[in-house]
Amino acid sequence: MDSSGAPGTTVTLLTTPSNWSRRDLIKGVIASGVSVSAMSYFAAGCTTPLPAQTGGVDRLLSLTVNGQVRRVDVLPGETLAMTLRYKLGLTGTKLGCDRAECGACTVLIDDVNHYACSTLTHRVRDREITTVEGLESPDGILHPVQQAFIDELGPQCGFCTSGQVMSAVALLRVNPNPTRQEAREAMSGNLCRCGAYDHYLNGVMRAAREA
């Protein structure tokens, strides 16, 4: 039986992490070995790194995600998709297959599109990671690809859309004026069961025109 990539922690999202003092955090660490990893999520943004966990693997690391440095506790075999979704609250990155078949989890690593389900988080500690949440400008202006996907009614069910957006963004960064055939090939690692390929390609071409 296929065991889909497993999260390493109990997930408890705290809406107001700023209320947590360092003392609370350390108390949490002492109280429960299990809660250590969850607590480390709340330490995101701390300037002083927490001591490394025992066991020889430095689990606490800094990830640069959408331009922000995030401190996060990562298990040795943890995938980037799980870190993003279950540690950093970035659920825009979807898991459709968890084994590099469908592309729903596509993110950019140093501007290149990768399947986050098949990327170990520990291997991208010094890289720039961009997820679908990182495309919109702070004033709410959508990335041209996002806007073009709306204008062309690209998404149907929407589950593959984040990945389609990221592959299109990656393409336009290296090839701002692709032919439709080039776009088709560049997007071919992203499956869409609704069959919205034509509309997504319309979106890519429109984004290239309007960017």
- Which residues of the shown chain bind another protein in the complex (CB under 8 A)? 1-4, 6-13, 34, 85, 89-99, 101-102, 104, 131-133, 135-136, 142, 146-147, 149-150, 153-162, 165, 180-181, 183-185, 187-188, 190-199, 201
> In b/e form, how buried is each residue of 12-49, taking b as 16+ CB within 10 angstroms?
eeeeeeeeeeeeebeebbeeeeeebbbbbbbbbeeeee
Q: Which amino acid is at 68?
A: Q
* Phi-psi region at 45: left, alpha or beta (left = phi > 0; alpha = psi -120 to 50): left
- Residue 101 or 111 having the CB closest to another protein: 101
The answer to whether the CB of 88 falls within 8 A of the CB of 70 is yes
CB nearer to another protein: pick between 153 and 174: 153
- Considering the complex, what minimum distance in angstroms separates the CB of residue 182 from another protein? 10
Least spacing, CB of residue 47 vs another protein, in Å: 26
Cβ proximity to another protein, 13 vs 174, nearer residue: 13
User: 4 or 177, CB closer to another protein?
Assistant: 4
Q: How far is the CB of 48 from another protein (least distance, A)?
A: 27
Looking at the DSSP bridge assignments, the partners of residue 129 are 65, 109
* Pairing label, strands 60-65, 128-130: parallel
Q: How far is the CB of 137 from another protein (least distance, A)?
A: 12
- Element spanning 114, H or E: strand 112-115
Q: What letter does residue 189 receive in the DSSP assignment?
A: T
Nearest-approach distance from CB 88 to another protein, in angstroms: 12
Residue among 49 and 157 whose Cβ is closer to another protein? 157
Closer residue to another protein (CB): 49 or 211: 211
- Shortest Cβ distance from residue 12 to another protein (Å)? 5
Q: Which one, of 188, 117, 115, 173, lies nearest residue 143 by Cα?
A: 173
